[in-house]
Amino acid sequence: MHLAALHTPSQIQLNQDGHLKHFLTIDGLSKETLTKILDTAQSFFNDQNQLITNNLLEGRTVMNLFFENSTRTRTTFEAAAKRLSANVLNIDIARSSTSKGETLRDTLWNLEAMATDIFVVRHSSSGAAHFIAKDVCPHVAIINAGDGRHAHPTQAMLDMLTIRRETKKKFEEISVAIIGDIKHSRVARSDVAALQTLGCKDIRVVAPNTLLPYGFEEYGEDVRLFNKMEDGIKDCDVIITLRIQNERIDSPALSSQAEFYKMYGLNKERLALAKPDCIVMHPGPMNRGVEIDSSIADGAQSVILHQVTNGIAVRMAVLALAMQGQLQEKGLLEAIAG
């Protein structure tokens, strides 16, 4: 898929006041909007760095529509909604009417009639969340929980929150290396877009040419390609290792697991080339011994479990901001996010 094929105009995601209406992709959103998400997410931590619970979405209904499995993402969205006191419904798509011949549009209309306020959508087809957002009722918000190879915006934002909280540096000051299967990764695409929007000037993509997407040059001058792992991670502040999906390991684009680990696996020797305080991230689930060594995944520089916690905060923020208009009428959101 071409990098620019599914860029979404900002007006689809924002309402007339410039507030978040849907969250479909990082593309088209401003630095101000992304910073608002990060600041709101940060506000959901107390002074002891523990997640808080409040009633911002009390009486609202959040429906998780996962056409593609992901226990981790669905669970964190559910946890986020419940921490905001929303009602949560998880729809078993495998047994839904869409598997019995009903169109997706008809299924959505029926779900809307159940007084749903937010649909969290995960789908294997790129653009599915956009399709739904264009047809959904005006009062319903659509949150993209991952669509094909296109985008995973909440994963990108939890990664940005993790970087901001753990490095305590401005995005303009850091070097970030993203390692692995860039071609098939919606996380990589969304992370690069978020980093660029937030001002990062040193983004390094570390991968063999066979795992690069078409149109790679469209990322711009601040994104550099490194085929050699050691060169790509030298003096980095942040390393993001991507999951190599097992179904692609034996494809022509990839060598064996052992060969990939030899060339691109993150181990102690390679991590030592980065800055001493470099943090290590992974979107999960990990393939230990393929993209990352267990000693690194469980080591002092790993913030992988922190990403999970930050993911709940970011998803709380996105859910709350998607209802921003209604919450502002009650004077609630300003009290939380400042």
Would you state the pLDDT for residue 8?
Answer: 47
The verdict on 31 and 122 lying in the same domain is yes
The verdict on 88 and 137 lying in the same domain is yes
Task: Render pLDDT for 149-197 as a digit per residue (tens, 0 to 9).
Answer: 789 999 999 999 999 999 999 999 999 999 998 888 899 999 999 999 9
CA distance linking residue 278 with residue 255, whole number of Å: 28
Closest CA to 80 of 296, 303, 321, 331: 321
In a domain, 246, yes or no: yes
- Higher pLDDT: 331 or 50? It is 50
> pTM, whole model, 2 decimals?
0.91
What range defines the domain where residue 288 resides? Answer: 153-307
Q: Which residues fall in the annotated binding site?
A: 72-73, 100, 122, 152, 155, 186, 243, 284-285
Would you state the pLDDT for residue 256?
Answer: 78
Q: Which residues fall in the annotated binding site for carbamoyl phosphate?
A: 72-73, 122, 152, 155, 284-285
CA distance linking residue 48 with residue 141, whole number of Å: 32
Would you state the pLDDT for residue 86?
Answer: 97
Number of domains in the chain: 2
pLDDT band at residue 1 using 50, 70 and 90 as cut-offs = very low
State the DSSP string of 4-64. Answer: TTT---HHHHB-TTS-BS-B--STT--HHHHHHHHHHHHTTB-TTS-B----TTTT-EEEE
Q: Which residues fall in the annotated binding site for L-aspartate?
A: 100, 186, 243
Which H or E run includes 121? Answer: strand 118-123
The verdict on 260 and 174 lying in the same domain is yes
- The answer to whether 175 and 236 are in contact (CB under 8 A) is yes
The CATH number assigned to the domain holding 119 equals 3.40.50.1370
The verdict on 280 and 321 lying in the same domain is no
Closest CA to 185 of 232, 225, 230, 151: 151
State the DSSP string of 180-243. Answer: S--TT-HHHHHHHHHHHHTT--EEEEE--GGGS-TTGGGG-TTEEEESSHHHHHTT-SEEEEPP
The verdict on 167 and 238 lying in the same domain is yes
Q: Which two tokens stand for residue 126?
A: 């790129």
The verdict on 139 and 259 lying in the same domain is no
In a domain, 2, yes or no: no
